[in-house]
Amino acid sequence: MLEARLEQANLLKKVVDAIKDLVQDCNFDCNDSGIALQAMDNSHVALVSMMLKSESFSPFRCDRNIALGINLGSLTKVLRCAQNEDILTLKAEDAPDVVNLVFESAETDRISEYDIKLMDIDQEHLGIPETEYAATITMPSAEFQRICRDLSALSESVSIECSKEGVKFNCQGDIGSGSIHLRSHTNVDKPELNVEIDLTEPVSLTFSLKYLVNFCKASGLSNQVKLCLSNEVPLLVEYALSNNSYLRFYLAPKIGD
């Protein structure tokens, strides 16, 4: 059986909020290392990969591999019934029909309990190869969100060019063009504002802004976001969570010109 207790319901609320517009039905794969989720969006352009390590829960117990097929719309409805600060416990039997969610308020004696019916989801699982990326950019997640939002007003796509000079986000649209240039930057007082660019070779790739704007819904999960790029491979956008847990998005580049 599965029993996983989260100190704050907020974490799961934010994760589900960040991915629910991209994927609708998905399996939460539970085993002794934690709870993982991998799903492609309907158009097979983007891939979501979430890992909530067992260390992110206290306690965490899962004796056997259990796949919880959940509709994220249903999960959102139930998670809205939790206060951000509530303690959240997920429970399921070994061959479950439902997943049970218990929300406990630390301040009051209120305990609420919900069951969500599970679905059989036949999902193809993709193997994501270990990649040595040519460029890795770590930057404030709010800055990345702003860039994507600003440029999406002008164009459907953005080119991300990374060189010794820094990183340049460029777009061309019907009304004109826009570009934002960032260089490595260290702020000793506010390290969450740092921009770090780790480059082994120059990279230039073009991506759909619609998807990037969607990924940025995860900005509330982490002050910083990591962008990993190599020519002709999908972009990795990573929001690191505590205890080595993470929310990652992969986006296939645009091809040709």
Partner 1 sequence: KQGQGSIASFFKKA
Pick 82 or 203: Cβ nearer partner 1: 203
Among the listed residues 73, 128, 179, 192, the single contact to partner 1 using CB under 8 A: 128
125 binding partner 1? (CB under 8 A): yes
Instruction: Provide the mask over 191-210, with x wherever binding to partner 1 is found by CB under 8 A and - wherever it is not.
Output: ---------------x-x--
Among the listed residues 124, 130, 174, 189, the single contact to partner 1 using CB under 8 A: 124
Interactions with partner 1, residue window 136-165 (CB under 8 A): 157
HSE of 127, CA atoms in CB hemisphere, 13 A = 2
Stretch that binds partner 1, among 37-45, 81-89, 96-104, 109-117 (CB under 8 A): 37-45
253 binding partner 1? (CB under 8 A): yes
- How far is 214 from 19, CA to CA, in rounded Å? 8
59 binding partner 1? (CB under 8 A): no
- How far is 207 from 160, CA to CA, in rounded Å? 8
Stretch that binds partner 1, among 52-60, 95-103, 127-135, 195-203 (CB under 8 A): 127-135
Peptide bond into 59 cis (omega under 30): yes
Pick 189 or 232: Cβ nearer partner 1: 232
User: Which token pair is 89?
Assistant: 């416990």
Give the shortest CB-235-to-partner 1 separation in angstroms: 10
252 binding partner 1? (CB under 8 A): yes
Stretch that binds partner 1, among 62-70, 84-92, 182-190, 246-254 (CB under 8 A): 246-254
Give the shortest CB-111-to-partner 1 separation in angstroms: 39
102 binding partner 1? (CB under 8 A): no
What angle, rounded to 10 degrees, do the helices at 72-79 and 9-19 form? Answer: 140
Task: Please list, in sequence order, all residues whose beta carbon lies within 8 angstroms of the beta carbon of residue 257, skipping any fewer than 6 positions away.
Answer: none
Pick 97 or 257: Cβ nearer partner 1: 257
Question: Is there a contact between 247 and 226 (Cβ–Cβ < 8 Å)?
Answer: no
Buried b / exposed e along 74-111 (16+ C-beta atoms within 10 A): bbeebbeebbeebbbbbbbeeebeebbbbbbeeeeeee
DSSP 56-77: GSSSEEE-S-EEEEEEHHHHHH
107 binding partner 1? (CB under 8 A): no
130 binding partner 1? (CB under 8 A): no
- How far is 186 from 166, CA to CA, in rounded Å? 14
User: Which token pair is 250?
Assistant: 């992969």
| Residue ranges that bind partner 1, judged by CB under 8 A | 40, 43-47, 124-129, 157, 206, 208, 233-234, 250-257
